[in-house]
Amino acid sequence: MTDALSPAAGFAPLRTERFTLRALRAEDAPALHRLVNDWEVAKMLARVPFPYPRGLAEEWIASTAVQMEEGSAWHLAITGHEGDREVLVGCVGITREPNGTRAELGYWVGRRFWGHGAASEAAGRMLRWALANLPIERVVASALADNTRSNAVLRRIGFRETGTGMQDFVSRGGAMPVRLFEAGREDMDAPAALPAAAAPEAAATGKRILLVAACALIDADGRVLLARRPEGKPLAGLWEFPGGKMHAEETPEAALIRELHEELGIDVTEACLAPFAFASHGYEAFHLLMPLYLCRRWRGTVTGREGQALAWVRPEKLASYPMPPADVPLVALLRDFL
């Protein structure tokens, strides 16, 4: 499986309401040095020396480009505008563990920008992007135990505190107590946040029933299409069979015809949809029922019209793609059938 993001294709800047998160450039070195060569900033960062040598800014910026090309880390400039002039506010980054499913989030903001929510806005955007676009399951972070601002930022953007520890701080010349944090997709969007169609409640549990139709598109080579839930949607970053919620008084077949056209730009007729299996899964706030159909014929070219990544997957490889809990039981059935 490959990442949804291809480092060789370059990095598209991330936007927030007020800021742009973009790749660092050589010309950022003077401003970066000026902001981070500040004891009040450096003393809070584990890997930053103080004083911070001017040449180190240039070396570090150059190294971030290499790491991005390797797909091992994404260290970005947080920039805003003062009038027509772009201004460096700080940096935010995500570093993947080698051959692992975790990554580490780090950030800092120049002292003159403190108190305006810049850290929360930038770090929250980076966290959501990482969970939606990288093959990871968890993101970890740490902050000095007495750094109340940073601890508050991490909690605000969705992290849970998992414990305490000791970490070496270069600027302080030794180990310091830190609070440890972790976040996953369930922390970004609990199942209760998933939208629900109008449906009756299940008598035994008191939960509403969410009706969703899904389709396994199968190409001429026997591969199955999976779509990755894009950033901004619940369970972003997980792979699923295309489909969506059934509208009131809509049949599963009609829902799929509509959803496949809206999401993938293809036209499917009801005659080409073959019922195959169904999923029944209880989330915290509702119970999901999802019939799965098979489809081998359609008109048009499959395209991710909502910005979602797509993958044509051999049946025996389906289990290597992380999926929402409701989709997982269908994988073995589909693999054995194909």
Look at residues 241, 265, 269, 239 and name the one whose alpha carbon lies nearest to residue 254: 269
Give the C-alpha separation, 172 to 211, whole Å.
Answer: 56
Model confidence at 6, pLDDT cuts 50, 70, 90, reads very low
Question: DSSP assignment, residue 194?
Answer: S
How distant is the alpha carbon of residue 122 from its chain centre?
14
Closest by CA position to 185, among listed 259, 245, 103: 103
Q: Which pLDDT band, with edges at 50, 70 and 90, does 2 fall under?
A: very low
Does a cis peptide bond (omega within 30 degrees of 0) precede residue 275?
A: no
Give the closest residue to 136 by CA, choosing from 108, 95, 92, 87. 95
Task: Give the number of other CB atoms < 10 A from CB of residue 311.
Answer: 17
Give me 100's structure tokens.
Answer: 């692992």
The answer, as to whether pTM is greater than 0.85, is no
Give strand pairing partners of 109: 90
**Local structure of 49: helix, strand or coil:** coil
- Strand, coil or helix: 259: helix
Specify the pLDDT at position 206. 63
If one compares 186 and 311, the residue with the highest pLDDT of the two is 311
State pLDDT tens for residues 187-222. 876 433 344 344 444 445 567 888 999 999 999 999
Position 62 scores a pLDDT of: 95
Domains belonging to the chain, first-starting first, are 7-186 (3.40.630.30), 191-337 (3.90.79.10)
Residue 242 binned pLDDT confidence (cut-offs 50, 70, 90):
very high
For residue 19, give both structure tokens.
Answer: 């800021």
Reported as half-sphere exposure (CB side, CA atoms, 13 A), residue 106 has a value of: 13
User: CB of 226 within 8 A of CB of 321?
Assistant: yes
What six digits make up the tokens of 54?
Answer: 């001017």
Quick one: tokens of 6? 């291809």
Residue 189 is predicted with a pLDDT of 60
Position 281 pLDDT exceeds 90: no
Instruction: Say whether 1 sits in a helix, a strand or coil.
Output: coil
> Nearest-5° angle of CA 144, CA 148, CA 154?
80
What distance lies between CA 131 and its chain's CA centroid?
A: 2
